[in-house]
Each structure stands twice: as structure tokens, then as C-alpha cells.
Structure 1
Amino acid sequence: MNPEARQEALRYHGLVESKDGLALTVQGFRKASRRALELREQGDPEAVRMFTLDPGDPLRWEYCRCIQIEAYTDEVHRSGF
């Protein structure tokens, strides 16, 4: 994966690089929330707990960040990087 493709993948997943690693954008939070809804419907206990939290709760944002990092990592692996 070249640097441009990497940046595009980060942008697609709603992630940005920060001094502390990868941070979640509002777009990423929305995408992750949609994915979490699917997981909740499948009975995933973490997704169920996540939706009991206020949308502004840092734990909810961290959960969503992890979902997006996982999706980004899967894409990187599929690309052969």
C-alpha cells in the first residue's frame, strides 16, 4: 500500500494520525456506530453495552475508534501491505 492509498484508507475509515496514534473523526464515529448497530443486532455484548453510553462518553468514542482501527487494519492486510 503506497502512502497515498494509506491516507485514503485512513480517511475512508474516519481516522487521522495524531501524536498519540490514530484518532477518530466524527465521520469515523458515525461509521463505527452503524457497524456497532449491526453487531448489537447479532447479540454482541460489547456493542449492547456501548449503546447504553451517552454519545459524548469517551468510552463510547474509544469503542468506535477500535472498530474503525480494526476495519482499517483488515483493509491494509487485504491489500498485502
Structure 2
Amino acid sequence: MNPEARQEALSRHGLTETEEGFELTAQGFQRASGRALELRQQGDPEAVQMLALDPDDPLRWEYCRRIQMEAYTNEVNQSGI
């Protein structure tokens, strides 16, 4: 994956890269919240707990960041890197 494709993938997953690691954008939070809803419908207990939190709760944002990082990592792995 070249740098441009990598940046596009980060953007697609609603992530930005900082010196401290990956940060979640509002778009990424929305996408991850949708995925969390799907997980909740499948009976995932962590998704149930996280979606019960206020949308402004930092723990919910961290949960969503992890969902998006997993999706990004899967995409990078599938690209052959």
C-alpha cells in the first residue's frame, strides 16, 4: 500500500495519525457506532455496554476508535502489506 492509498484508507475509516497514535474523527465515530449497533444486535455484550454510554463519554469514543482501527488493519492486511 503506497502512502496515498494508506492515507485514503485512514480517511475512509475516520482515523487520523498523530505522534501519539491514531485518533478518531467524528465520521469515524459515526461509522463505528453503526458497526457497534450491528454487534449489539448479534448479542455482543461489550457493544451493549458501550452503546449504553453517553455519546460524549471518552470510553465510548475509545471503543469506537478500536473498532475503526480493527477495520483499518484488516484493510491494510488484505492489501498485501
Q: TM-score range by the shorter chain?
A: over 0.9
Shift >6 Å, 4+ stretches: none
* Residues 1:61 and 2:61 are matched in the alignment: yes
Q: TM-score, normalised by structure 1?
A: 0.99
CA distance in structure 1 between the partners assigned to 2:30 and 2:48 by the alignment: 16
Unpaired runs of at least 5, structure 2: none
CA RMSD of aligned residues (A): 0.3
Corresponding residue of 2:6: 6
Q: How far did 1:18 drift?
A: 1.0
CA distance in structure 1 between the partners assigned to 2:30 and 2:43 by the alignment: 20
Deviation per CA, 1:8-60, whole angstroms, max 9, x where unpaired? Answer: 00000000001110000000000000000000000000000001100000000
Corresponding residue of 2:15: 15
Per the alignment, in what secondary structure is the counterpart of residue 50 of structure 1? helix
Q: How far did 1:73 drift?
A: 0.1
Unpaired runs of at least 5, structure 1: none
* Residues 1:38 and 2:42 are matched in the alignment: no
- Taking only the aligned residue pairs, the percentage that are identical comes to 72
Q: TM-score, normalised by structure 2?
A: 0.99
Q: How far did 1:69 drift?
A: 0.1
